[in-house]
Chains A and B, each alone.
Chain A
């Protein structure tokens, strides 16, 4: 049987398989480069399937329509068609844009979202690196995106973009702290920031109900923290009810109004990868990583990631958008107080029962 979490990260495992020396930094770098390329390609493939095709199909199912069905089976060939179409569009540079920042913003949004996947344990030992501060690293990289959004909004020389950029920053600031504090309450249980250790500590059985063992996933151990984290995560990735930075009915498309061609593709890609990264964090720290019956761990991990993505799409279709002042009030007066209460109560309960 394959262990759920192997002690060695993926590059070192490949090195041992090929009979190379993993302690040599150059060998490790090359192997990590290959592994990273594979994982990033999988992420881009997920974005292509779920972001271009799945999103339209899901929204259509919610609103009782059919959506794409002409290009190939189930309209799947729309994916290459859309990719070529978007990449071959003319790039229109509006008047008065702040040039280096305007060009760099799509790169920052797309790259920072990919960075977080370096420490995510996908199950079956597929993990590029496993530093001891994994959770702090992944939360830090996930929040770089708001810098890219501000750059995009401010550099575009467009009033809608400017409003969108400011809203994005106000929102990400307000919801970052509940997110991090809720993650900290999980660390109280696990006693480590290392993501593989957090996953391993969720493998024990919590209770046995009629012969079915319920594992001690932190979503079951502390459901309150799980709900808080899901809400804060929705706000961090900017999806309904927290999609006011884009708010298509109010400010056109927010920070991405003036972007066209490949720059638009990169921002769109970055947003979707950010949603998957949020799903990967939720799956790792609340849903037991790659744990699950019958299927191999990595399949379970992707099922959980996709489930979180489907949740964001469900919220997008089902929940109305908040106003900006309501959003700030909920963030600073509701979520922040609740996440402090969650942290303190978790600490007290864990301390007392120990």
Chain B
């Protein structure tokens, strides 16, 4: 049995070489007419205002944290799913299933907490809420 990662490495090389060759081909073909006007970033035809690199919502941090928790959990679930059928045949259903149910149960409690806490709710900016109130009055 040969090592499969050698072949995967070969494909990775192909996957880099083909896009790079396309870049090179385009570099040979395309014109270059530098002008000041066309380098402006697109903002629906207006002159760009303000900076793009603004501070963004803290909510992304919460969602990312939640994602890390659940992603690690899926990594831990994978080996269990692989051995599941053999293990049930060997040591019985309860000893295989119950620990994983307890593990998933802990995570579901965490998800319920995040849900109630509003971590997975997309917050509106105060400005849109204010505009909505203005319209009603």
Contacts and interface: CB of A to CB of B under 8 A. Distances in A.
Interface string A342-354: 0110011011101
Contact of B77 (A39, A107, A128, A343): A343
Contact of B7 (A32, A187, A269): A32
Contacts of A257: 42
Interface string A26-64: 001110110111011000100000000000000000000
B126 interface: no
B50 to A, nearest CB: 8
B84 A347 contact: yes
A351 B104 contact: no
A28 B88 contact: no
Interface stretch (A112-120, A223-231, A296-304, A312-320): A112-120
Nearest to B89: A354
Interface string B84-122: 111011000100110011001001100100110000111
Given A87-B29, A177-B70, A261-B30, A158 B43 contact: yes
Interface stretch (A67-75, A89-97, A209-217, A278-286): A89-97
Given A130-B4, A173-B67, A174-B63, A29 B22 contact: no
Given A37-B14, A158-B42, A184-B78, A107 B7 contact: no
Interface string A259-291: 001100110010000000000000000000000
Contacts, number: 234
Given A110-B19, A131-B4, A266-B19, A340 B104 contact: yes
Q: Dominant SS at the A interface? A: helix
B16 interface: yes
Interface residues on A, range: 35 or more
Interface in A319-353: 324-325, 328-329, 332-333, 336-337, 340, 343-344, 347-348, 350-352
Contact of B84 (A23, A131, A191, A261): A191
Given A87-B25, A92-B39, A351-B96, A157 B7 contact: no
B46 to A, nearest CB: 11
Interface of A: 9, 11-12, 22-23, 25, 28-30, 32-33, 35-37, 39-40, 44, 84, 87-96, 106-107, 110-112, 114-115, 117-119, 128-131, 136-137, 156-160, 162, 166, 169-170, 173-174, 176-177, 180-181, 184-185, 187-189, 191-193, 252, 257-258, 261-262, 265-266, 269, 324-325, 328-329, 332-333, 336-337, 340, 343-344, 347-348, 350-352, 354
Interface of B: 2-16, 18-20, 22-23, 25-27, 29-33, 38-44, 52-53, 56, 60, 63-64, 66-67, 70-71, 74, 77-78, 81-86, 88-89, 93, 96-97, 100-101, 104, 107-108, 111, 114-115, 120-122, 124
5 contacts: A9-B4, A95-B39, A114-B14, A119-B4, A328-B120
